[in-house]
């Protein structure tokens, strides 16, 4: 028996086979449950247009649900001489059901199969990422509230500038994540459209009911134009990678701040001992390796959209095997960002802050603007007040009052954390993951 779906009379050279398959079997294992779900929707639709009988649909549905369970138990394997997950599932069906198994591929191609698998995989991984983001978001806001009265120097050019606070510092990263979630929401919307039915990239002469598979799989709508549906391969991954990259940029910046603030020369925060590492030669060292690796991992993630761009760049429309390689870079990125988010959440929840930073006189000049503003409020024109305080500083006569009175929205005394939370929650509710959970439960007969 030929071992490739497409093999007819010539057999494929072994080296060519391992070159073209590469690590694809490994990547396809991540897609396996979604391949089965896609097939469950496809056969239901095939039956509705007369390409399968009701009995055939029943048998195939039962068999596919069985394969889904095997995958869930971690017992699904792509056999050595089987090219990919799509071939493996079809082979399992034909082995058990003969001709009925061979009917399942009417009106589709592996090109739209892998497209739909990826969209379903991405949709569920985005849900996992948003959960990890929410854990970090909540922790940051808690810490912001807990330490809202503790001042620390704010810097511009890494020069002591004006008073800031831990309320502002933690809260800033929470708000940054709220914006990253908005970017992710847009990426989710693009992901949540059904490419199934585009077949090899040019549709089919069977009267496919694409609206039906769109609903069965819990998609918002479809990628209508079949040529565009195929163009979504690589594009969807790139857009989602950009969203992941946005989170990585936020977390990488936080990690760098934390390394800096933890250094003895700053001494603003203390990382819990269990989260630092020692030196093999210097007995006193407690290094912030976790945040350093976080920084590097976040930088690597920010390379991902560029990697995908370069793999897919300059391809004309239509399917090309080049697209397969995107999986190797893209698929593991979700586990990476989730691990980063979880580790940083644990760190942030245990950071100890120094409550007496401003007692140190090296930071006293950051209160100069407070004094300028105080004089201005008393009636002195701002420019004169600025000059007076400047001259006082030069002459060593400036007397820092280490207090702040900031009341406007988003400032030290009025963090607006409730507004930031409302923004985040509104975006999160827009994902509406429940729709696809309900659709999957129905396909699997679990409702």
By the rule CB under 6 A, 87 interacts with ligand ARG: no
Give SS3 for 320.
coil
Please identify, using beta-carbon distances, which residue of 207 and 318 lies nearer to ligand ARG: 318
Torsion of CA 29, 31, 33, 34, to 10 degrees: -170
Please identify, using beta-carbon distances, which residue of 24 and 180 lies nearer to ligand ARG: 24
Please identify, using beta-carbon distances, which residue of 111 and 245 lies nearer to ligand ARG: 111
Site size toward ligand ARG (CB under 6 A) is 9
Burial of residue 95 (number of CB atoms within 10 Å: 0-12, 13-18, 19+): exposed
In our burial notation (b when 16+ CB lie closer than 10 A, e otherwise), range 158-178 reads eeeebbbbbbbbbbbbbbbbb
By the rule CB under 6 A, 110 interacts with ligand ARG: yes
By the rule CB under 6 A, 111 interacts with ligand ARG: yes
Dihedral sign (CA 139, 142, 144, 146)? negative
How many other β-carbons are positioned within 10 Å of the β-carbon of residue 354? 17
Stretch that binds ligand ARG, among 108-116, 238-246, 261-269, 372-380 (CB under 6 A): 108-116
Out of 78, 93, 114, 298, which residue is the one contacting ligand ARG (CB under 6 A)?
114
Please, are residues 258 and 152 in contact by the beta-carbon 8 Å criterion?
A: no
Residue 348 CA neighbour count, 13 Å, CB half? 30
Please identify, using beta-carbon distances, which residue of 28 and 63 lies nearer to ligand ARG: 28
The CB-nearest residue to ligand ARG is 324
Interface mask (CB under 6 A) for ligand ARG, residues 386-425, using x and -? ----------------------------------------
Stretch that binds ligand ARG, among 180-188, 305-313, 320-328, 407-415 (CB under 6 A): 320-328
Q: Which of residues 129-188 bind ligand ARG (CB under 6 A)?
A: none
Out of 8, 157, 284, 321, which residue is the one contacting ligand ARG (CB under 6 A)?
321
Of the candidates 371, 421, 373, the one whose C-alpha atom is nearest the C-alpha of residue 397 is 371
Tokens of 4: 């490739």
Out of 214, 242, 262, 324, which residue is the one contacting ligand ARG (CB under 6 A)?
324
Out of 170, 319, 334, 436, which residue is the one contacting ligand ARG (CB under 6 A)?
319
By the rule CB under 6 A, 63 interacts with ligand ARG: no
d(C-alpha 194, C-alpha 216), whole Å:
10
Q: How far is the CB of 195 from ligand ARG (least distance, A)?
A: 13
By the rule CB under 6 A, 240 interacts with ligand ARG: no
Q: How far is the CB of 110 from ligand ARG (least distance, A)?
A: 4
d(C-alpha 447, C-alpha 439), whole Å:
9
Q: How far is the CB of 209 from ligand ARG (least distance, A)?
A: 23
Interface mask (CB under 6 A) for ligand ARG, residues 9-28, using x and -? ---------------x----
Tokens of 171: 């809260």
Using left for φ > 0, alpha for ψ between -120 and 50, and beta otherwise, residue 107 falls in left
Q: How far apart are the first and last CA of the chain?
A: 40
Of the candidates 38, 45, 162, the one whose C-alpha atom is nearest the C-alpha of residue 111 is 38
Contact residues for ligand ARG, defined by CB under 6 A: 24, 84, 110-111, 114, 319, 321, 323-324
């Amino acid at each position: 028996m030929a071992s490739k779906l497409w093999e007819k009379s010539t057999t494929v050279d072994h080296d060519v086979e391992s070159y073209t398959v590469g690590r694809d079997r490994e990547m396809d294992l991540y897609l396996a449950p979604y391949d089965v779900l896609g097939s469950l929707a496809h056969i239901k639709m095939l039956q509705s247009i007369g390409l399968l009988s009701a009995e055939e649909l029943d048998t195939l549905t039962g068999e596919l649900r069985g394969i889904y369970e095997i995958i869930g138990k971690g017992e699904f394997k792509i056999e050595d001489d089987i090219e990919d997950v799509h071939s493996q599932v079809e082979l399992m069906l034909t082995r058990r059901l003969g001709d009925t198994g061979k009917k399942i591929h009417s009106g589709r191609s592996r090109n739209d199969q892998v497209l739909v698998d990826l969209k379903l995989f991405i949709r569920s991984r985005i849900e996992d990422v948003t959960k990890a983001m929410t854990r970090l978001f909540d922790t940051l806001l808690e810490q912001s509230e807990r330490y809202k009265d503790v001042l620390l120097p704010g810097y511009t050019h890494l020069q002591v500038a004006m008073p800031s606070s831990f309320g502002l510092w933690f809260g800033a990263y929470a708000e940054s994540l709220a914006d990253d979630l908005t970017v992710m929401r847009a990426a989710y919307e693009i992901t949540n459209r059904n490419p199934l039915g585009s077949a090899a990239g040019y549709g089919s002469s069977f009267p496919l009911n694409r609206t039906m598979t769109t609903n069965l799989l819990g998609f918002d709508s479809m990628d209508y134009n079949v040529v565009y549906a195929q163009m979504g391969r690589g594009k969807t991954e790139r857009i989602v990678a950009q969203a992941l990259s946005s989170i990585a940029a936020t977390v990488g910046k936080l990690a760098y701040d934390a390394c800096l603030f933890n250094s003895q020369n700053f001494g603003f925060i203390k990382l819990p001992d269990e989260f630092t590492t020692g030196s093999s030669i210097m007995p006193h060292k407690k290094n912030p390796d976790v945040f350093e690796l976080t920084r590097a991992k976040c930088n690597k993630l920010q390379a991902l959209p560029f990697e995908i761009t370069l793999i897919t760049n300059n391809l004309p429309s239509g399917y090309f095997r080049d697209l397969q390689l995107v999986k190797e870079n893209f698929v593991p990125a979700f586990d990476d960002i989730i691990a980063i988010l979880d580790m940083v959440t644990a760190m942030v929840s245990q950071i100890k802050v120094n409550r007496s930073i401003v007692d140190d006189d090296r930071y006293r000049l950051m209160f100069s603007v407070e004094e300028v503003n105080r004089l201005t409020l008393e009636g002195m024109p701002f420019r004169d007040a600025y000059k007076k305080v400047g001259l006082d500083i030069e002459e060593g006569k400036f007397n820092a009052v280490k207090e702040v009175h900031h009341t406007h929205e988003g400032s030290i005394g009025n963090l607006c954390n409730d507004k930031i939370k409302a923004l985040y929650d509104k975006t999160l509710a827009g994902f509406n993951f429940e729709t696809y959970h309900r659709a999957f439960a129905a396909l699997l007969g679990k409702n």
